[in-house]
Amino acid sequence: MKDYFYGVAGSLDEMVESGEVYLCFFEAEDSDFVRLNQTRFRQAGSVAQRQMSIDLIAGRQHAAATLTLTGNLSDDRAHIGELLPLLRQQRAALPADPYLLYAREPQCTESIAQAAAPDAGTAVTEIMDMAAGVDLVGLWASGTLYRGFANSLGQRNWYAQPSFHFDWSCFNQNGRAIKGSYAGTHWEPACLALKLDAARAQLELLNREACHLKPGRYRTYLAPAAVQEIFGLVAWEGFGLKSHRTRQTPLIKLVRRQARLHPGVTVCEHHAGGLAPRFTASGYTKPERVTLVRDGLYDQCLVSPRSGMEYGEPVNAGSEFPESLELSAGELAKDAVLEQLDTGLYVSHLWYCNFSNRNDCRITGMTRYACFWVQDAAIIAPFSTMRFDDSLYHLFGDKLLGLTTERERLFCADTYYQRSTQSALVPGALIEEFNLTF
């Protein structure tokens, strides 16, 4: 794949005219997909796709297009040869772009993982064996993701990373569900077996009659998946330079030092620790880490090339949405969660989250899946779905009691157009007061 991409880039080198610069960003995958229903194979298939975005620049004028590739170098060379004259025609009719910015000092890199993706057939067979007797529905996706960058200045970047994710739900006879996921770059059946054993135990608890809670504030443990839902929402315009400078960020109080988070909360974009490549579509190399919130206080923003040009800041990201978000670990042992919670709510998942007051970073949403009422450090029963409404400055500020020492890496299971490279590494959180509403 790498040789093919470099061959495509070599063809572009031959086709550009004097005074032109091209930027080329390559995205490809070889993926296997398996759908399961009632713990049986229902649908299986494979996808091999390659596409390339080309930006053709002359001065401050540029025109871009995305081309689906066949993987045959001679055929794709012909398609590119047909595309470039069209881009030149479009470029001539476009005004100069004041915010155009791309890397002008070549920095060549290669990142090729040595491990191979697990065989989909073998892995799914093991899943069905481990989940025997459970009504399980889910989606398996695995394979190698490829990314590449090239330009006419001689820069070449290459990335190849095998990975997998298995996203599933288990149902009991009452139609109640446990949601889970297992993802990574190294297949370890024992890890999934532990997750499925925990799901079986929770399914038994879901057979109990649900209790109905009154609106109010409850001591609550948020599992990592619930924490990720909250920070996933905050990430939309929360950490980008553009949203900060235009005062559109939901973290405006944090930026102005009118509010703060708990001193134990540090949030960063760990470019070196996620699935996304460490180079951007404009040729910039991402730093290993960008600290967004340090010890509860606003620290840095994610700066895309266009925002970097507009505001005169150094580029540190391809986009201003985190792709490899990490939340610091705490000192609360996972095994001690129920003991520390004592009496209150155990919330496994949240969904349908949105802002109820952006300026206060106030979030509303619903509890979902395995959410339980806990009394005297023991799970008593599931509780009926409830809406919550609370501010990040309370949940992870003055009402935060602790974060777990163990963190869970959660891969984005999106497969729209292509498999996602987004991930998050987050702990669980013990909250003194979590506001439930009608």
Kindly indicate the confidence band of residue 241, based on its pLDDT and cuts at 50, 70 and 90. Answer: very high
Spatial CA neighbour of 44 closest among 31, 52, 53, 35 = 35
370: closest CA among 230, 188, 172, 215?
Answer: 172
What are the residue boundaries of the structural domains of the chain, listed by start? Answer: 2-206, 216-437
Q: Write the DSSP assignment of 129-181 as a string of letters.
A: HHTTTSEEEEEEEEEEEEEEEEETTS-EEEEEEEEEEEEEEEE-TTS-EEEEE
pLDDT at 227: 98
CA-to-CA dists, residue 187 to 47, 83, 122, 402, angstroms = 20, 41, 11, 31
Q: Which of 66, 425, 3, 39 is CA-nearest to residue 227?
A: 425
Q: Which residues make Cβ contacts (< 8 Å) with residue 248, sequence separation at least 6? A: 237, 242
User: Between β-strands 156-171 and 109-112, what pairing exists: parallel, antiparallel or unpaired?
Assistant: parallel
Rounded Cα–Cα distance for residues 5 and 3 (Å): 5
Using 50, 70 and 90 to split pLDDT, how confident is the model at 158?
Answer: very high
Percent of the chain with pLDDT over 70: 100
Q: Which residues contact 239 (CB under 8 A, 6 or more apart)?
A: 249, 251, 267, 269, 292, 301, 302, 320, 321, 322
CB atoms within 10 A of CB 98: 10
- Residue 365: pLDDT over 90: yes
Which pLDDT tens digit goes with each residue over 173-197?
Answer: 888 999 999 999 999 999 999 999 9
Average pLDDT over residues 330-350: 97
Are the CB atoms for 405 and 332 separated by under 8 Å? yes
Question: How sure is the predictor about 116, in pLDDT bands with cuts at 50, 70 and 90?
Answer: confident
Q: With a cut of 90, say whether residue 424 has pLDDT above it.
A: yes
Residues whose CB falls within 8 Å of the CB of residue 116, separated by 6 or more in sequence, listed in order: 162
Cα 382 to Cα 215: distance, rounded to the nearest angstrom: 16
Averaged pLDDT for residues 10-32: 97
pLDDT of residue 175: 85
295-315 pLDDT, tens digit each: 999 999 999 999 999 999 999
Q: Is the pLDDT of residue 12 over 90?
A: yes
- pLDDT value for 240: 98
Place of tokens 């949240």: 350
By the 8 A CB rule, do 424 and 325 touch? yes
DSSP 237-272: TTSBHHHHHTT--TTHHHHTTSS---TT--EEE-GG
The stretch 419-436 carries a mean pLDDT of: 97
Three-class DSSP category at 396: helix
pLDDT at 117: 84
Report yes or no: 370 and 178 within 8 Å, Cβ to Cβ.
yes
274 φψ region: left (φ > 0), alpha (ψ -120 to 50), beta (else)? beta
Query: Which tokens belong to 138?
Result: 């889910």
Q: What's the rounded mean pLDDT across residues 380-396? A: 97
Nearest by Cα to 419 from 45, 32, 44, 148? 32
User: Which pLDDT belongs to residue 397?
Assistant: 98
As assigned by CATH, the class of the 2-206 domain is alpha beta
* pLDDT digits 0-9 by tens, 407-416: 999 999 999 8
Listed in sequence order, the residues at least 6 apart from 201 whose beta carbon sits closer than 8 Å to its beta carbon are none
What is the H or E stretch that residue 368 is in?
Answer: strand 362-375
Q: How far apart are CA 264 and CA 272, in angstroms?
A: 22
Rounded-to-integer distance, Cα 242 and Cα 98, Å:
15
Q: Are strands 21-37 and 135-151 parallel, antiparallel or unpaired?
A: antiparallel
Per-residue pLDDT, 342: 97
pLDDT at 134: 93
Give CA–CA dist 95/108, Å, rounded. 31
Q: What is the pLDDT of residues 244-255, one digit of tens each?
A: 999 999 999 999
Q: Closest Cα to residue 160, out of 8, 28, 316?
A: 28
Cα–Cα nearest to 65, from 75, 77, 46, 51:
51
Confidence tier at 115 by pLDDT (50, 70, 90): confident
Residue 425 is predicted with a pLDDT of 97
Residue type, 431: I
260: which 2 tokens? Answer: 């703060």
